[in-house]
Amino acid sequence: MSSVLITGGAGFLGQRLTRQLLERGFLAGPDGHPRAIDRIVLADVVAAPATTDPRVVNLVGDVADPAFAARIVDIDTTSIFHLAAIVSGMAEADFDLGMRINVDASRLLLDVSRGLGHQPTFVFASSIAVYGGELPSEVLPTTALKPQTSYGTQKAIVELLVGDYSRRGFVDGRALRLPTISVRPGKPNAAASGFISGIIREPLNGETAVCPVDPETRVCILSPSRAIDCLIAGHDVPARTLGTDRTVNLPGLSVTIGEMVAALERVAGSEVGGRIRWAREPKIERMVSGWPGRWDATRARDLGFPGDDSIDAIIRAHIAETQRA
């Protein structure tokens, strides 16, 4: 049996990934050949929405609990998508919680896999926040990691663990650095980057959005659909192609906040764009300004990871998806 584990399976990305894997029906095995997905285990602190698909198993629990980790990873677990995390703002506000979920739970999953000895493919959702401080205009793969938040530090720690556990042959790991995902549907969360979705989502819903940074602030974004495509591509890229470097900067679209607002007005009209209120917040500005606004994703593109064409296309896709919902 081939079983896929998705931690954070009840979340936004977890649910989208589940739907795409169910539709696809397979992932690449260690030999590169397609391997049918017999079961998808969704692990989260809350239950994922019910589904009639018999391949889906919903397990509710704490990923940092050794007993729960032993339930969700077994000898049939061929693939792990580790998406569960405490987001940036919350990890900054509650250091212990961030360390427990973002670091301790990650190592626990790696150690359970190590103990079973079956070397699953381990896809870790890392973040642009591993960078920070004084950055070049374009971040390169060789740019040193100097995270300026607890969240970024925690993600960087797990990247190193994934690399070392892969080197030792305990897992076949790959750490994928995600740009800011935009546009996220639903309600705002505690992420420092949440406004990057909010300034598009809320005005389209007829609501006022508050933008806490200067219009010239440059950010690196990836649409939800491309993020899921990249997670699957990251799983399927052969280990021999990755070599010893198991981290990949995913293709991100570099735009300023002002350019995002201009695109919103082009796509939806000036009345919609006028629903944005500018109120700078120094704390948010400090965090966001420490993240790359542009990075070199040549390696990702060479490996076949897809990116977005334009911010206009991202906004149109969000509108179309909202209308279908």
Q: What is the C-alpha to C-alpha distance for residues 66 and 175, in angstroms, rounded to an integer?
A: 23
Residue 302: count of CB within 10 angstroms of its CB: 9
| 190 has a pLDDT exceeding 90 | no
Class of domain 195-219+253-293+309-324: alpha beta
Span 169-178, pLDDT tens digits? 999 999 999 9
Q: What is the C-alpha to C-alpha distance for residues 288 and 9, in angstroms, rounded to an integer?
A: 27
pLDDT score at 325? 66
CATH 3.90.25.10 maps onto the chain at: 195-219+253-293+309-324
Averaged pLDDT for residues 265-294? 92
The token pair at 266 is 């082009």
Residue 282: count of CB within 10 angstroms of its CB: 9
Residue 166 CA neighbour count, 13 Å, CB half: 22
- What's the sign of the alpha-carbon dihedral 33, 69, 171, 303? positive
CATH 3.40.50.720 maps onto the chain at: 3-181+222-249
User: Which residue type sits at 20?
Assistant: Q
Span 224-274, pLDDT tens digits? 999 999 999 999 999 999 999 999 999 999 999 999 999 999 999 999 999
Residue 65 CA neighbour count, 13 Å, CB half: 11
- From the candidate CATH numbers 3.60.15.10, 3.50.50.60, 3.40.50.720, 1.10.1040.10, the one assigned to the domain spanning 3-181+222-249: 3.40.50.720
Task: Judge whether 131 counts as a catalytic residue.
Answer: no
| Three-class DSSP category at 105 | helix
* CA-based nearest residue to 290, from 127, 141, 84: 127
Q: What percent of the chain has pLDDT over 70?
A: 99
Q: Which of 81, 151, 170, 305 is catalytic?
A: 151
273 within 8 A of 202, measured Cβ to Cβ: no
pTM of the model: 0.95
**DSSP string over 126-145:** EEGGG--SS--SSB-TTSPP
The token pair at 304 is 């076949």
Q: What is the C-alpha to C-alpha distance for residues 12 and 190, in angstroms, rounded to an integer?
A: 14
Q: How far is CA 121 from the centre of its chain?
A: 17
61 within 8 A of 43, measured Cβ to Cβ: yes
Q: What percent of the chain has pLDDT over 90?
A: 90
Residue 249 sits at the vertex; the CA angle it makes with 247 and 254, to the nearest 5 degrees, is 170
pLDDT score at 188? 76
